[in-house]
């Protein structure tokens, strides 16, 4: 399908937060009774990178972490899975690596996020290398990175460099209300990024906020909310439908692919989106078969959500294939 340029040294870069995730060791246990937390690397772009690296992709992260044991741990984790860490910058300004502490429950799962003066949002546009981006076939931008300056400015400049270098821009809307001043602000900056995206991914809430400024008449209107973006410049939009349905992928020429959902017993309610996206991108790059890509993505999402971590729970191609073939 020609979504990606050929002959690039790196398959995928991701820009945005990568941090520390601490998951309760005890399942189905209230926070007060949890005795300990298991240590993982997390953050949406971090998880997506881990997913793609597990599937054999050459990856790299563009982000900032604190210059302390946690920041160094994050870097060492990506080193250990073969992801390039040359653009993970250490910051000593008093910022802190993004941190999430969670219970381990299938639903009503408590999560506490520490993101006051988060290191990833201190990434400045002067620190983004156009050459580095030009070495990649694709770059995943987290919409969340657009929520605060100068991280926001860095995401916008990375997209501009990518367009100039012919690197495919994948925008994961990744909208979290708590990180924006208002949904107006979110719509403006997600819109600026979405106009330049080649591949656009989001769910109902995310397209609703995105469209608030651009297509207010389509808010919360399913396909009507996502299709206009193909006219705006996207080659592919992937709409995570929710409500028991799978993903809907629509190509520029209008071809639609309705993906399925693989029902599993959840350990926790998060991790699905990142596994889905990392896997889908891997298979899209493999052979451009959209239907197959989102199907594999759905399987990976369900595998990860049935496990007790995210990055470290990323399945291999074999595990994905086995899961699908044995699924009832």
Distance from C-alpha of 182 to C-alpha of 248, rounded to nearest angstrom: 28
Say how many CA atoms lie within 13 Å of 133 toward its Cβ.
Answer: 28
Q: Please name the residues in contact with 295: beta carbons below 8 A apart, sequence gap of 6 or more.
A: 259, 260, 324
214 interacts with a copy of itself by CB under 8 A: yes
In the complex, least distance from residue 82 CB atom to a copy of itself, rounded to whole angstroms: 16
Residue with tokens 């028991």: 244
Kindly identify the residues of this chain, within the stretch 174-203, that bind a copy of itself according to CB under 8 A.
Answer: 181-182, 184-185, 188-189, 191-192
The three-point CA angle 221-225-230 to 5° equals: 155
> Is residue 100 within a helix (H) or strand (E), and if so which, with residue range?
strand 99-102
Closer to a copy of itself at the Cβ: 11 or 91?
91
Of 4-12, 153-161, 168-176, 317-325, the segment contacting a copy of itself by CB under 8 A is 153-161
Of 35-43, 218-226, 240-248, 250-258, the segment contacting a copy of itself by CB under 8 A is 35-43
Which listed residue (134, 153, 205, 322) binds a copy of itself by CB under 8 A? 153
Distance from C-alpha of 68 to C-alpha of 205, rounded to nearest angstrom: 36
Which listed residue (137, 145, 157, 248) binds a copy of itself by CB under 8 A? 157
126 interacts with a copy of itself by CB under 8 A: yes
In the complex, least distance from residue 309 CB atom to a copy of itself, rounded to whole angstroms: 11
In the complex, least distance from residue 122 CB atom to a copy of itself, rounded to whole angstroms: 12
7 interacts with a copy of itself by CB under 8 A: no
Residues in the chain: 328
Q: Please name the residues in contact with 207: beta carbons below 8 A apart, sequence gap of 6 or more.
A: 173, 218, 225, 226, 239
Task: Record the tokens describing residue 265, joined without a space.
Answer: 């017993």
DSSP H helices, 67-203, are 69-80, 130-134, 151-165, 183-194
217 interacts with a copy of itself by CB under 8 A: no
Which residues contact a copy of itself (rule: CB under 8 A)?
20, 22, 25, 31-32, 34-39, 66, 68-70, 72-73, 76, 94-96, 99, 101, 103, 110, 112, 114, 116-117, 124-126, 149-150, 153, 156-157, 160, 181-182, 184-185, 188-189, 191-192, 213-214
């Amino acid at each position: 399908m020609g979504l990606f340029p050929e002959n690039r040294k790196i398959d995928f870069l991701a820009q945005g937060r990568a941090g520390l995730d601490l998951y309760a060791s005890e399942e189905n246990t209230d926070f007060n009774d949890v005795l300990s937390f298991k240590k993982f690397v997390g953050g949406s772009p971090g998880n997506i990178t881990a997913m793609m690296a597990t599937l054999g992709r050459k990856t790299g992260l563009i982000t900032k972490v604190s210059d302390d044991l946690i920041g160094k741990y994050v870097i060492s984790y990506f080193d250990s899975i073969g992801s390039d860490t040359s653009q993970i910058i250490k910051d000593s300004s008093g910022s802190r690596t993004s941190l999430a502490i969670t219970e381990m429950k299938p639903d009503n799962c408590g999560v506490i996020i520490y993101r006051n003066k988060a290191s990833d949002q201190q990434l400045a546009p002067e620190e983004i290398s156009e050459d580095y981006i030009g070495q990649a076939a694709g770059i995943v931008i987290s919409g969340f990175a657009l929520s605060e300056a100068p991280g926001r400015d860095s995401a916008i400049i990375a997209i501009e460099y990518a367009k100039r270098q012919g690197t495919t821009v994948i925008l994961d809307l990744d909208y979290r209300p708590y990180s924006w001043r208002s949904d107006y602000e979110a719509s403006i900056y997600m819109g600026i990024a979405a106009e330049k995206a080649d591949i656009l991914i989001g769910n109902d809430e995310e397209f609703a906020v995105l469209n608030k400024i651009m297509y207010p008449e389509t808010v919360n209107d399913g396909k009507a909310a996502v299709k206009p973006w193909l006219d705006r410049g996207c080659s592919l939009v992937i709409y995570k439908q929710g409500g028991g349905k799978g993903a809907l992928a629509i190509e520029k020429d209008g071809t639609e692919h309705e993906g399925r959902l693989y029902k599993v017993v959840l350990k926790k309610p998060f991790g699905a989106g990142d596994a889905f996206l990392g896997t889908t991108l891997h298979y899209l790059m493999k052979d451009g078969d959209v239907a197959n890509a989102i199907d594999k993505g759905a399987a990976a999402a369900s595998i990860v959500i049935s496990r007790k971590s995210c990055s470290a729970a990323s399945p291999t191609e074999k595990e994905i294939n086995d899961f699908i073939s044995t699924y009832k």
